[in-house]
Chains A and B, each alone.
Chain A
Amino acid sequence: MPRIKKDRMLLRLHDVSKAFATSEGPLQVLKNVNLSLEPGKSIALTGESGSGKSTLLHLVAGLDTPDSGSIVLNGQNIAALDDAGLAALRRGTVGLVFQQFNLIPSLDVAANLAFQARLAGRFDPAWTAGLAERLGLKPFLARYPEQLSGGQQQRVAIGRTLAVRPRLILADEPTGNLDEATGDAVLDLMLSLQAETGASLLMVTHSTRLAARLDGRVHLRNGRLA
């Protein structure tokens, strides 16, 4: 993979489009979307339900591929990667936190926390133990996901992501399933850890209140960013 010219940006989307085939014909969700994100910065992605926020996040995460356009992450055009290349990207470069079902049901909390870091080959026990401590997960390490509350589960998901020390954290309504107080606490933790590790953050949210706490904000409407 040839390196594209030295770029100040960690992430740069150029004319990214994506359509889904539906029974009523193709549904154009993203139309020539452009976006860039500096290292260490955070952006909130807002938009109405069904506007394509999750779709955009999935493309950046290498979970799906765009129809056209380029997504350059850490100097690599990920739109051109094959399955194995995308998997490697997900393992080591990005960390994902979804609204729900983030955790592996058959592993306990300790194993869930360490899983991705070990997969990526950069497991640091001391760092992970510190994360567990900061996230208040110490008492739950031997529990299984189904034995945790929603907020606890999301804290595990954040810990797991940060254990890898990814360059980019992608979060899709990480607090959407939580009550306001819990959500705020979870977000505080995430933001401070993000700042500490120097990672960038792209976070989908419905809430303008939460969006205001990030460095920047983009709004998705009719397939375009504003």
Chain B
Amino acid sequence: MMWRSGLAALLSHWRRKPLQLAMLLLGLSLATGLWSAVQAINGEARASYARAAAVLGQDRLASLARADGARFDQQLFVTLRRNGWLVSPVVEGEKRYGEQRVKIIGIDPLTLPPVARQIDVMAAEGGLGAFIAPPGLFFVSAETARRLAGHAAPPLRIVDSLPAGTALTDIGIAQDILGVGPRLSRLLLPPDQLIDRAALSILAPELEVRTPAAESDLSRLTDSFHLNLTAFGFLAFAVGLFIVHAAIGLAFEQRRPVFRTLRALGLPARALTLLLVAELSVFALIAGFAGVVLGYWIASLLLPDVAASLRGLYGAEVPGSLSIRPAVWLAGVAISVAGTFLSAGRGLWQVSRMTLLAPAQPRAWARASERHMRLQAIAGAALLAGALLLAHFGTGLAAGFALLAAMLLGAALLLPLLLSWLIAGGARVSSSALGEWFWADTRQQLPGLSLALMALLLALATNIGVGTMVSSFRLTFVGWLDQRLTSELYVTARTEEEAAALRNWLSPRSDAVLPIWSTEGQIANQQVQIFGILDHATYREKWPLLTADPQVWDFVAQGKALMVNEQLARRLSLRLGADVTLPGGHRLPVAGIFSDYGNPKGQVILGNDTLVRFYPDIGRLRYAVRIDPEKAGKLREDLLTAFGLPAQNVVDQASIKSFSLKIFERTFAVTAALNVLTLAVAGLAILSSLLTLAGMRLPQLAPVWAMGLTRRHLAALELARSVSLAALTLLLAIPAGLGLAWVLLAVINVEAFGWRLPLYVFPADWALLGALSLAAAGAAALLPALRLLNLRPAVLLKVFAHER
């Protein structure tokens, strides 16, 4: 009975203040939602990396392969089988279908070990016959099937356990499609082998045993990207908690008399605390559920862009659709509960210790003292000092993120003191009575608003920082594309014969035909691309070299040196002059390092002659064509008609550029979306704080009104106050944002992607962001201002009456 009536008394508060309840639930579900969205995206990506790692049981099966990763003769397989080795052949390679790259894996269904049997060839339509006889079958995921639709691939069969962008097919069919001849990439080696087989070193000395990969390369490579997302999700969660904190703080404050009455009526402090815990738990569960639903929705909107980034940056395949994961639900609800009690902790503690006769302390929680503000500022300054030390001495991604966190948190903690200084300055320069009152009153409101303003600072600084990073990246990337894509046309022949004919046909009709021949292999266990280039003005004049020997082009042309891209140089700590051992044991020194943004792989560039000498059986299908840009369109038409090439095999510079830029923009669409959401949440935090304060503001406003200000005037001043606080916050967010941008460009990017970017400043973007944040602050202040505008005089008069 006691419990029931106690609960009823507590809950009646929310019935009278539905807006407060809405704020609380909204803040909590937004915070949980943004967090869960990031978790759902990360979960989806991790699952697909696991799928990729599990293809053909790679995560459990050992295999035999060459040390340099190059393909080897099929005869080795035959030799090993004959000598009692129960191995199964696999060939792998990439094939372009239009703009889609598909990883093709050829298998032998007859020798495939059971653990690697991901597809049931016999059960498929047409059975074994259809699988091995041309045109063969492609086993692909639904996602890959969608991408391959309309392309000249073999008939498709859908298997959901396969990762996106991968096709399983018969080994003979794969060798044909990839054009690799009778060669294999590796041999699967199941654990149960005959004991009396001949030694590997005698039968096939060029092969070595590879143990199954414990962690997939992809998940290691993409770790930093997901850490990035997680950091963002956490930031949004923290900003959301500001709202929750404000709403719970207000509700506790306003219910203080109820608490007192309940206690006076005989409800023990313990029971009261328990009731409040129960109440908050119910809210947390409701908001947690709503938050996870919201999170899935946000994730489903963001995932296609995330998938595009992962593909563009790391070549990692993640499907564009979400599956429901129980872990995300549990984590979402748990984080909602944790967030609620984190925000309510202080209030609950006070209630549990409240003595019956303690005097009421109205506004005590909102009027954090000057001392409190100063302590906060000292902590903030200490954090900033820590950030400086980290920037100087820290290394690695974790240090980078710690630096980020210390910087942002430090700036946020310093904010109230800095704002109060700025406000004092404003008071000093204002000469009217109203101006003085405005600043004095603003200063008095500061403690109540400072949490929300900190949230705004975090959101703005993140926006400026990430925006600066993206814009700097874009500027660098566009300039770099101009350097890299100098040729007017890029042509891909379908066969070697066609390629030869193309060369002959093009020579008299163009200024230059530049081969783009390449192969792949491993250097120090890193998968790299190896390209050859001709000694031509196109490269000498435009190539985006970061550092190079003055004679780099001569050395490369003469086969005395090579160039590497920035990411390979960073990964292997290569400097100019360092020796690199290429697949096949060829050694050359590095004479140049070039920028290669957006490429997940390391790259080596040799002189074209050297490339052909080292790897004589290289494919010679792709060419860049130099020609007067005016004539490029005509030449392309002629090429297409003369050779009957598919349109996607002859691409002009402009379409490659626009395609690359499109990938670039998608890559950062996610960041932009999270940015906007964080800003929106900060706006809500301001709204909920203002609503909280509005009820306590009457004693401040009533005398001014009585002395001759209209309510309209007061409402306008209230609006102006929020907007000017937001403007001052913006002022302080700019240096914090630039610091953040520097950390992202010079620390996080280098650790995560392997390239460093110059920082460019875009004040016009800040102006736009500034306008946006002022609008958000204004919008948040609008509701309280409108309420004030329509306040009945009787309510204001109550302030002066003794019945108050």
Q: Are the CB atoms of B802 and A63 closer together than 8 Å?
A: no
Q: Are the CB atoms of A102 and B703 closer together than 8 Å?
A: yes
Say which residue of B436, B437, B707 sits within 8 Å of A96 (CB atoms).
B707
Report the stretch among B106-114, B440-448, B585-593, B762-770 that lies at the interface.
B440-448
| Chain B hits for A20, CB < 8 A | 794
Report the minimal beta-carbon distance from B761 to chain A, rounded to whole angstroms: 38
Q: In the complex, A98→B702 CA distance in Å?
A: 12
Report the stretch among A36-44, A114-122, A212-220 that lies at the interface.
A114-122
- For residue B433, CB closer than 8 A to chain A, the reply is yes
CB nearest neighbor in A for B801: A54
Report the minimal beta-carbon distance from A32 to chain B, rounded to whole angstroms: 21
Report the stretch among B241-249, B273-281, B633-641, B708-716 that lies at the interface.
B708-716
| Chain A hits for B708, CB < 8 A | 87-92, 116, 119-120
Q: What interface size band does chain A fall in? A: 35 or more
Say which residue of B703, B797, B802 sits within 8 Å of A103 (CB atoms).
B703
| Chain B hits for A64, CB < 8 A | 793-794, 797
- For residue A111, CB closer than 8 A to chain B, the reply is yes
Q: Are the CB atoms of A118 and B706 closer together than 8 Å?
A: no
Q: Are the CB atoms of B700 and A106 closer together than 8 Å?
A: yes
Q: Are the CB atoms of B440 and A116 closer together than 8 Å?
A: no
Those of A37-88 within 8 Å (CB) of chain B = 54, 58, 61, 63-64, 83-84, 86-88
Report the minimal beta-carbon distance from A156 to chain B, rounded to whole angstroms: 11
Those of B777-804 within 8 Å (CB) of chain A = 793-794, 796-797, 799-802, 804
Say which residue of B443, B700, B710, B797 sits within 8 Å of A104 (CB atoms).
B700
Those of A151-189 within 8 Å (CB) of chain B = 172-173, 176-177
CB nearest neighbor in B for A173: B802
- For residue B158, CB closer than 8 A to chain A, the reply is no
Q: Are the CB atoms of B432 and A118 closer together than 8 Å?
A: yes
CB nearest neighbor in A for B432: A118
| Chain B hits for A120, CB < 8 A | 708
Report the minimal beta-carbon distance from B702 to chain A, rounded to whole angstroms: 7
Those of B709-743 within 8 Å (CB) of chain A = 709-713
- For residue B434, CB closer than 8 A to chain A, the reply is yes
Asked whether A106 and B433 contact (CB < 8 A) given A54-B801, A99-B800, the answer is no
Say which residue of A84, A101, A119 sits within 8 Å of B707 (CB atoms).
A119
- For residue B129, CB closer than 8 A to chain A, the reply is no
Q: Are the CB atoms of B441 and A106 closer together than 8 Å?
A: yes
CB nearest neighbor in A for B711: A83
| Chain B hits for A58, CB < 8 A | 793, 797
Give per-residue flags for A9-39: 1 if the beta carbon is below 8 A from chain B beta carbons, else 0.
0000000000010000000000000000000
- For residue B481, CB closer than 8 A to chain A, the reply is no
- For residue B704, CB closer than 8 A to chain A, the reply is yes
Q: Are the CB atoms of A101 and B703 closer together than 8 Å?
A: yes
Q: In the complex, A54→B794 CA distance in Å?
A: 11
Asked whether A119 and B801 contact (CB < 8 A) given A83-B710, A90-B706, A92-B708, the answer is no
- For residue A105, CB closer than 8 A to chain B, the reply is yes
Report the minimal beta-carbon distance from B111 to chain A, rounded to whole angstroms: 85
CB nearest neighbor in B for A118: B433
Say which residue of B433, B713, B801, B802 sits within 8 Å of A87 (CB atoms).
B713
Report the minimal beta-carbon distance from B724 to chain A, rounded to whole angstroms: 16
Say which residue of A61, A104, A111, A173 sits within 8 Å of B703 (CB atoms).
A104
CB nearest neighbor in B for A145: B703
| Chain B hits for A105, CB < 8 A | 444, 699-700
Give per-residue flags for B427-438: 1 if the beta carbon is below 8 A from chain A beta carbons, else 0.
000001110110
Q: In the complex, A92→B432 CA distance in Å?
A: 16
Q: In the complex, A96→B705 CA distance in Å?
A: 11
Q: Are the CB atoms of B709 and A96 closer together than 8 Å?
A: no
| Chain A hits for B712, CB < 8 A | 83-84
CB nearest neighbor in B for A88: B708
| Chain A hits for B709, CB < 8 A | 87, 119
Say which residue of A88, A92, A104, A176 sits within 8 Å of B704 (CB atoms).
A104
Give per-residue flags for B673-712: 1 if the beta carbon is below 8 A from chain A beta carbons, else 0.
0000000000000000000000000011011101111111
Report the minimal beta-carbon distance from B694 to chain A, rounded to whole angstroms: 16
CB nearest neighbor in A for B703: A104
Q: Are the CB atoms of B797 and A63 closer together than 8 Å?
A: yes
| Chain A hits for B711, CB < 8 A | 83
CB nearest neighbor in A for B708: A91
Q: In the complex, A90→B711 CA distance in Å?
A: 13
Please report B residues at the A interface, Cβ cutoff 8 Å: 432-434, 436-437, 440-441, 443-444, 699-700, 702-704, 706-713, 793-794, 796-797, 799-802, 804
A-B contact pairs, 7 of them (CB 8 A): A101-B799, A104-B703, A111-B433, A111-B436, A119-B708, A172-B800, A173-B802
Please report A residues at the B interface, Cβ cutoff 8 Å: 20, 54, 58, 61, 63-64, 83-84, 86-92, 96, 98-107, 111, 114-116, 118-120, 123, 172-173, 176-177
Which 5 residue pairs are nearest across A and B when measured between Cβ atoms? A91-B708, A118-B433, A98-B800, A90-B708, A106-B440
